[in-house]
Amino acid sequence: MITVEVLEQLGIPLPPLPEQQRIAAILNDQIAAVEHARAAAEVRQEAAIELPAAYLHAEFNSPQAQKWARCRLGELAILGPDNGAFKRRHEFGRGVPIVNVSDLFRSLVVNLNEVERVDTSEDELRRHGIAPGDLFFCRSSLKREGIGRCCYAREVSEPSIFDCHVMRVRLDAEKAYPEFVVHYWASPTVRDEVIGNSRTATMTTMNQNDLARVEIPLPPLPEQQRIAAILNEQMSVADRARKTIEEELVAINALPVALLRRAFSGEI
């Protein structure tokens, strides 16, 4: 809290009145330009945030996509859906990588080099061990919009497991391509369906049956791979655009302080 005494002792540099007016007019113009640049950047930021959903909608709601055969996720699985290992807090800090709910929200690909580690048994490794291509789904979330969030393991360089708040599906490689399914799962239509079928009490949850009965449109496997490659590139472009605009906004938001500093140090 600033006291009256402190305010009374503050010194204010005062050039002649015409100079004050000149500086104030310059600052008004500069701050207005900053606000205009910020508003324009925020519009571009919103567009960049919406790009992934637009790409997914265009791919999965096209006339061609309407002709694809549809299969339930459970019919495409050779393993799962199943829940992961229950681990207590004191077991963390060493051992093998473990995929937690928080890891599902970083990217569509789980980087097992960046997750926590946990002590585990041979039985847990046998029942909950991860293989390349495994899909992971959030089965309980504090936020309703997080339920069912999906990502997958592209590479597995050492024995790893997944947490009990996560469900795992291992696809039949002759029927479904993991990256294709992950992208489809991120599309607005599926997100709305998954969220709509979830249950909310203290947390939002979904069970194995909820997951298994979600339908996936399936073109031939080579077409799945082609579409996944296109979407990977589009998502990379959207992500780079978003990050560039975020950096631009940081610079724009720092401008008013810099302008005021210049003005009151006699540089304009």
Q: Between 28 and 4, whose confidence is greater?
A: 28
Q: What is the pTM of this model?
A: 0.82
The values of phi and psi at residue 191, to 5°, are: -60, -45
Q: Tokens 């050492």 correspond to what residue?
A: 158
Distances (CA, A) of 265 to 25, 229, 253, 261, 262: 16, 54, 20, 6, 5
Contact 141, 147 (CB under 8 A): yes
pLDDT tens track for 111-153: 999 999 999 999 999 999 999 999 999 998 888 888 889 999 9
Percent of the chain with pLDDT over 70: 99
Residue 202 has pLDDT above 70, yes or no: no
Cα torsion angle, 30, 31, 32, 38, sign: positive
> What is the rounded distance in angstroms from the CA atom of residue 195 to the CA atom of residue 124?
30
The average confidence (pLDDT) of the chain is: 91
The values of phi and psi at residue 107, to 5°, are: -165, 170
